[in-house]
Amino acid sequence: MTTRPRTPSRRTLLRAMAALPASALVLGEVPGLLGTAAAAAPPSGSATRYTIVPFLNSTDGTVNVYQSDDATDFRLLRSSAYTPPSNRIRDASIIRHTDGYYYITYTTHTWQDTSTTIGFARSTDRVNWTFLYDYTVPIANLSRAWAPEWFVDSDGSVNVIVSCSTTNDQWIFTPYLLKATNSGLTAWSSPVALSGIGANHIDTFIVKIGSTYHAFTKNETTKYIEYATASNLTGPYTISRTGNWAGWGSYREGPALVQLDNGAWRLFFDGYGDGSYYYSDSYDTFATWSAPRAMPGISGTARHFTVIKETVSGGPALAKNVTRSFQSANYTTRYWQTQSSLLNLPVVSGSSSTAEKQAATFTVVPGLADANGYSFRDASGNYLRHWGFRARFDANDGTSTFAKDATYVARAGTSSGSMRFESYNYPGYYLRHYSYQLRVERADGTDLFRQDSSFVPVTSWA
């Protein structure tokens, strides 16, 4: 089998070029969080929607649009959704502005070329994009302006953080702040360097929590993503985490953050050294992080993006404090049923015994850890929870761990009326049947997984 060669990372090419002699080198939104909605499961009838607009491993001439309801399983919304009228498009960052439009800003040239502009485009629907303009960043002797990232501050001001180098050393980048001076995002303040982060840092991404600005930035010498904080947007920042502090490894770039429904922060980054795209989660305001996982479906295809999160209408609706049975969407004679405290998927029919029908009937209640989510009780009052990733029923022990284990977030299923139930404390993991047993497993981006994890709430058997 032949494989298509991967487009070289700009950093990979810079490393090679560094060895050459000089003569040979010819985001409802919460402000500051890139459109992030508040951390809670979407209410019944609503859905969480994450959108990314990455350029592709195969080309930097266009971008695709992908959508996800869980920030794990991204599905193609439109291929080649936007191609600029000239130049290239890399490193696209997306927000939703107060005027209702979606905006992207992006790198306008490929790595080989002098690149003194950043591009802007907008859309009403995230699918159909209109070119606005290329903006020349006003820095003396500018050589390259790369990886512009939106940042909306808590006062509502709209900013772009852009990595710039000058002709003195075109491969040493420093993060600069541009602030929009009009509501149409067509006029910008003079660039201000972010104090404390310093030169030789690129792809700086910022979020604000409370009164603290948190910056994630790639050190171009060590190839690690570093972490810094400041009390002012322009700094001074203090870099407090360096090296492999989070366990993400080296040759990582393009960090981008979004807050998940359960309050965790998810960081996405381009693992250009190994050709994969990763995510990692933090539950303690960035002190510790989960082991990085390659993104299903788009890893190896999508390159350098940011994420916008929204709560939208039209999501799954499931009444609470009522009894329901749950039918497999792809094995329609099979239903959830408690068997020796475990949740299985046997055949249930009108000829099943009264006990079998009772064991296939459950009370839907507000989620123990999040009332917008869902918990499920069996006839004995025990709750559906995962233990060793196996779905089972146990008595509520009153702990926060149990509450999280027993809470699920409803996502749309594969067929009309069906739902998927995502684990509250293991985002991206779903109740899924395998060999007619119910487990909590990580989404793998396949249609089969989506079908196996889709269930239809129906009138209860008992």
Instruction: Convert the pLDDT of each residue in 355-382 to its tens digit.
Output: 999 999 999 999 999 999 999 999 999 9
CATH superfamily of 10-313: Glycosyl hydrolase domain; family 43 (2.115.10.20)
pLDDT of res. 13: 35
In this prediction, residues 94-115 reach a mean pLDDT of 95
Q: Which CATH class is domain 322-459?
A: mainly beta
Count CB atoms within 10 A of the CB of residue 305: 25
pLDDT of res. 39: 76
Interatomic CA distance for residues 227 and 272, integer angstroms? 19
The domain limits of the chain are: 10-313, 322-459
Q: Does the pLDDT of residue 438 top 50, yes or no?
A: yes
Same fold flag, 10-313 and 322-459: no
Interatomic CA distance for residues 411 and 408, integer angstroms? 9
3-state secondary structure of 461: coil
What's at 2, amino acid-wise? Answer: T
Q: Does the pLDDT of residue 21 top 70, yes or no?
A: no
3-state secondary structure of 451: helix
In this prediction, residues 427-442 reach a mean pLDDT of 98
**pTM of this structure:** 0.91
